[in-house]
Amino acid sequence: MRSVSRRDIIRAAALMPVAVHSPLAGATEGAPALPDRYNFTLEGTYLDAAYTHPFGLMAQSAASAYQELRRRDPQGVSPRRNARTAAVERFARLINADATDVAVVPSTMEGENLVNASLGVGPHAGILTDVGHYDASLVLYEELHRHGAPLAVVRVHGGRIDLADVQAQLSRKIRLVAVSAVSSTTGFEYDLSELCEIAHNAGALVYVDLIQAVGAIPVDVKASGVDFAACGTYKWLMGDFGTAFLYVSPAALERVRRVQVGWRQVRRQESHVLPFESPGRAIGPYELASGAAGLFEVSTPAWGPLATVVASIDYINQLGVEAIVRHRQPLLDALQAKLPPLGFQPLTPQGSHSPVVAFACQGAKRFVEPLQAERIRISVYESRIRISPSVYNTMDDIEHLVSVLST
């Protein structure tokens, strides 16, 4: 990988506080050409961005700039000087939300757990989910079910979740419909507008895991009517581990309660215990913040990953999400055409525009060593494989993979 120069660090530091003015759709003037091999100088053939997206030069430069600032000035990053607001504003613009409706949380799963707790999911408030939702989320809901929460689980038919099946399993016991916008297992992509309409008509709210969607496909939470959504930064946002965004619609905010308290929520607090302070109760008066951040941000966020993702989202906006989709789609279509004749059973519906394509294959682990020998990285499970190309991949990468899988 190209070394990071002082000029790169200065440039990254300068980029972090600047607002993005580029549109979401279509590449902007001066955007890097795709495939982008300059910002992503990878070793081997990397087709596993759905597991974690590699750092681009812009992310590496921003991370280096953050670390350099911390080295030079221990208080150069502080509660009053950090990239939190810049990162939230950029993420909100990417999903067509207001920044005031976005909180920073440690991870996507933390966000989903917070949503369930704040809604009081339990014996009198159940969940509907589907088998394509994130596997750890399914465990979360099974655990809630064991403690009395009603649970409905919709199955896959023909690689898809049929919204008629969702509608059929909704009942007055269901308070939350929880799904992944794009299934990390199959690559199935929901029509979120139709899903939300069905759920809302039944009196349920909708939580969406966006981690396999934002940065890879267009997302509009306002147009779709999503109530809650969470997204970590280390996949298609091209950032680092350790931070995520939680979106809460204004209407949904009225239906949740505070379930955690920390310094990020305290707007005002008085002390009456130290010398020269006025007398009063041991725990003096205080005021807690409202809004999404006021309810769900608890403690010091991961300011380093937030600084990094500012640069990455700037890069995504410079390219344009639609341009990313246009570059990736022929690669996915080629996989859908070339692998089934070799015995790979498609799990991803034909015509899908999600960034993930998956195939069932008995004894898939037998490909691990040949792939390693050819320095190809995909996700390999016991009986399936998952492939997820990004902005740096070419059709030659696809042909290289197919040649190994055909042996």
DSSP-assigned states of every residue in 376-401: EE-EE-SSEEEEB--TT--HHHHHHH
- Residue 182: alpha-carbon gap to chain centroid: 10
Percent of the residues in the chain that have a pLDDT greater than 90, as a whole number: 91
pLDDT tens digits, one per residue of 62-115: 999 999 999 999 999 999 999 999 999 999 999 999 999 999 999 999 999 999
Taking residues 208-228, what's their average pLDDT?
98
How many residues make up the chain in this entry?
407
Beta pairing, strands 244-248 & 228-232: antiparallel
Region for residue 111 given its phi and psi (left: phi exceeds 0; alpha: psi -120 to 50; beta: otherwise): alpha
CB atoms within 10 A of CB 64: 18
Q: Report in angstroms the alpha-carbon separations of 62 from 20, 42, 67, 83, 309.
A: 16, 18, 9, 11, 8
Decide if pLDDT at 280 tops 60.
yes
pLDDT tens digits, one per residue of 333-387: 999 999 999 999 999 998 899 999 999 999 999 999 999 999 999 999 999 999 9
pTM of the model: 0.92
pLDDT tens digits, one per residue of 312-330: 999 999 999 999 999 999 9
Distance CA 192, CA 149 (A): 24
Q: If pLDDT is split at 50, 70 and 90, which confidence band does 17 have? A: very low
Rounding to the nearest 10 degrees, give the CA dihedral for residues 344, 345, 347, 353.
Answer: 60
Decide if pLDDT at 403 tops 60.
yes
Run of H or E including 111: helix 108-119
Q: Which pLDDT belongs to residue 405?
A: 98
- Residues with Cβ within 8 Å of 345's Cβ and at least 6 positions away in sequence, in order, are 359, 360, 361
Place of tokens 């929460």: 149
Distance CA 214, CA 195 (A): 18
Structural tokens at position 244: 């995520």
Decide if pLDDT at 227 tops 90.
yes
DSSP-assigned letters across all residues of 36-90: --SS---SSEE-BTTT-PPPPHHHHHHHHHHHHHHHH-TTSSBTTBSSHHHHHHH
Structural tokens at position 356: 């993930």
Residues 83, 265: contact at Cβ < 8 Å?
Answer: no
What domains lie within the chain, and their CATH numbers?
Answer: 84-313 (3.40.640.10), 321-405 (3.90.1150.10)
